[in-house]
Structure 1
Amino acid sequence: MVGLRAIGATLFLCLLLAGQQSPAAAVEQAGRFMQVGVSAPRPIGHQDFCKRYPSECRPTPGHSAPQPLNLTPELIHKIAAINLAVNAGIRAESDEDLYGVKEYWAYPKTAGDCEDYALLKRRRLHEEAGIDYDDLLLTVVRKQNGEGHAVLTLHSTAGDFILDNLNWRILPWTQTPYTYLKRQSEHDPGGWNRITNGHEILVGALKR
């Protein structure tokens, strides 16, 4: 486990450094970030989640304008460790099997599906690594087989990175095999926005 955490953090750091040192970094900068557009309907599961956890779906009173997270080597190691720990500690199981309903967003204890992993990572990264919820955004994507899927977007000054229960690596959003549809608002955790450049990125299948 420790070895995988170290490898994951090292790969994450290498991706950041490669982007910062690239001669084309300035040109590529815009593509590192998802471009959000008009408001989008909240996923049904998130609507119900907000009824049960209303404090997690309201803007923080007096909170300043959201700013992308500044990543440091120490923080990168914490993020990689939490991502791997949640992926390893939670058993994948559908909402129908767990709760008898098609969609139910919850904090998993031993089992859950994709959005449950994302919710737990979001809470742990906030509580254990001190990352603002503004920079930890639930995101809905479409897999290559057409199925819907949920991941967590880490919004940083180096770009948007994806924490995914289907991959222990933390990757730039453009290097994942998904079509990006919508994500949680940086300004209002109860709101969602469409991702306007989610269909333009070139994504390829990942070897696992």
Structure 2
Amino acid sequence: MTRTFLKGLLTTALFGLATSAYATPANMITLGKTNPPIGHYEFCKVNTGKCGPTNDGGPMQLTEAKWKTLLKVNYNANSSVEPLTDQEIYGVEEKWVYPKSVGDCEDYVLLKQKMLVERGFSPSDLLITVVLQPNGDGHAVLVVRTDRGDFVLDNMRNKVLLWSDTEYTYLKRQSTKNAAQWVKIEDDHSPAVGSLQ
């Protein structure tokens, strides 16, 4: 085997990509504007500097160093925050904040997004995304847009997967052009309505 071929195999294994084709595209297809989740709308009213136009240069190039950073940030955030609901923490149904030691799924996402921006990632590639779990419950994950596909950082697992390799139904995410705006996601098994909307 040639060195180039071996390097290609290693790269494929490193990024966790299957060599065979899969039905869902590696990058999500969006369908136009939709309303942001109320929790994100309220977050943006308080954190205006985090919610505005972004410089969308297209999906980032996923290097080995960036992949390792994604894995480390996902693991560190998941390990440092104890999962509790907003009702348990604040006595309200929905509140999006940067967590200190406890938080729910949106709080993990905000923390991971912040940590990755601090490490040089573009906000246009770090997209808060609303999904439905197989049981129908709403959930939020951070989708990282790359030239190798859209990868999911999730507080329910330390493994980083392509969006098409998760069990979720994808509803909507932040726009790549403006962090305060949201777009619908084309997902063949998306229901018309879901929680966290």
Which of 116, 136, 143 is 1:153 aligned to?
Answer: 143
Residue 12 of structure 1, CA deviation: 9.3
- Mapping of 1:39-58 within 5 angstroms? 39-58=33-52
Residue 198 of structure 1, CA deviation: 5.1
CA distance in structure 2 between the partners assigned to 1:144 and 1:181 by the alignment:
13
Please tell me whether residue 80 in structure 1 is matched to residue 71 in structure 2: yes
Identical pairs, percent: 40
Residue 197 of structure 1, CA deviation: 2.5
Which of 142, 163, 182 is 1:173 aligned to?
Answer: 163
Equivalent position SS for 1:37: strand
Paired residue for 1:16? Answer: 15
Paired positions, count: 181
Distance change in 2, residues 1:18/1:57 (3 Å): closer
- Verify the 8 A CA contact 1:70 1:156 in the aligned structure 2: yes
Alignment RMSD: 2.1
The amino acid that maps onto 2:148 is: A
CA distance in structure 2 between the partners assigned to 1:12 and 1:89 by the alignment:
29
Please tell me whether residue 115 in structure 1 is matched to residue 106 in structure 2: yes
Structure with greater helix percent = 1
Please tell me whether residue 164 in structure 1 is matched to residue 158 in structure 2: no
- Verify the 8 A CA contact 2:171 2:187 in the aligned structure 1: no
Equivalent position SS for 1:32: coil
Unaligned segments of structure 2, at least 5 residues: 1-9, 191-197
Residue 141 of structure 1, CA deviation: 0.2
Distance change in 2, residues 1:49/1:85 (3 Å): same
CA distance in structure 2 between the partners assigned to 1:90 and 1:53 by the alignment:
21
- Mapping of 1:164-203 within 5 angstroms? 164-197=154-187, 199=189
CA distances 1:76-114 after superposition (whole Å, capped 9, x unpaired): 111111110000000000001111110000000000000
The amino acid that maps onto 1:187 is: K
- Verify the 8 A CA contact 1:12 1:170 in the aligned structure 2: no
